[in-house]
Amino acid sequence: MSVNPLRIIVIGGGVGGYTAALRAASAGCQVTLVEKAFIGGTCLNVGCIPTKALLESARIARLAQRGVEFGITLEVTNVDLGVAVVRSRRVVEVLRRGVEDLLSARGVEVIRGTGYVRGGGKVEITSEQGNRLLEADYVVIATGSSWMDIGGIEPDGSQVITSDHALFQEQIPTSMVIVGAGAVGCEFAEIYSAFGARVTLIEMMDHILPGEDKELARRLETVLKRKGIKVMTSTRVRAITRGATDVVVETDDGSKLEAAQVLMAVGRKPNITGIGIDEAGIASCPKGIVTDATMRTNVEGVYAVGDVTGNSMLAHVAMRQAIVAVENITGNEAVIDYGLVPRCVYTDPEYAAVGKTEAQAREEGYDVKVTRVRLGHIGRALTMGEAFGLAKVVADANTKRLLGMQILAPHASEFITEATVALKQGGRIETMADVIHPHPTLSEMVWESFQAALGRSIHGD
């Protein structure tokens, strides 16, 4: 006797939404994906992917300027943001078409429109073709997030912009003030500075990358300053005034900064309004839709994943949440552990971290042991002309178990996963220290760090 497949409606086609749709379709479910704009959402279209493409252009521009150091004399006569932007859009289009092809190949029905939760497994879809009411066994909400403004300062796409605007403009402003020195702010400071803009980075907290390790953040701040980026910390923006040709940013100490353009990079808010969650009785708070570790909401049959939940607004978190949700929908047990989420900033060098920072571990009452390995001790780094970096291990002094790790180094995002695996396996530093790493590689920085944490440093101090 045949069994009818589970019917699932996913609202939102960003990373969390399309991952849920693909995973559910692979599990034999009948899946409908509702998306009002572009498949791939923020990350693929106006976030992770195009930003990293532009950062690669910026990295090459800076490397070309260092050519003489490597015995290669280059005359860089022009850096063209327009060409870099066009290339970034090509990358986006290739990846987006790839995801669309996967959805089609796995039998996912994609409906262009806006989805509203109506309760009882029903979703109303509004589109140019009119309204439709669909019913399913389960609903997965993945409506993402959008940019926040500050103090009523609304971006206009010209003088005051968000990263969404910045990813499409093809002319470099002579000067730019970036408000917010989190990951987005620091990455765009790298991009626009490399292409010739005079960049000022403003952060209200006492160091850039607030919430991350202060020691490594201040090292990164030094790197940014060496690149000509002005960094102002412990500084709050009081007002932004648009003029005929420039913008004036007034700070809380009375300083006034003039720039051709202001980039707002102060964070994102979950898209929880206008999707019917209140009417359906789905619990939410200003942070987002409330879920448990299985991604269930308080309403039977309704799950939420991605930025709309407000938990670590990162693409890889959305993907994991989506997988967890579908596993539970299809009768398997899975949970997400936010303590195992790697956090990456794609500056040059990159910052990557997982687990607790030193400050967090001390606040939680651990007897903390901290060890450090400098990038200059790693042979591969020196062959690349890179020496100003650091890896930091935060461990429990009593049990010698890993609590967290932070790395400032080229390609740090590629090898922070080793520390994530160590945490997943109970934080046994001895196990990771016994793993043979190829030489010479940057990944040896992790190995050296674990050796140092055990008091067995080879090349470190």
Q: Residue 257: what are its φ and ψ, rounded to 5°?
A: -110, 130
Tokens for 117, please give them.
């939760």
Evaluate whether 229 touches 209 at the Cβ level (below 8 Å): no
Asked if 340 contacts 424 with a C-beta cutoff of 8 angstroms, the reply is yes
Q: Mind telling me the catalytic residues? A: 439
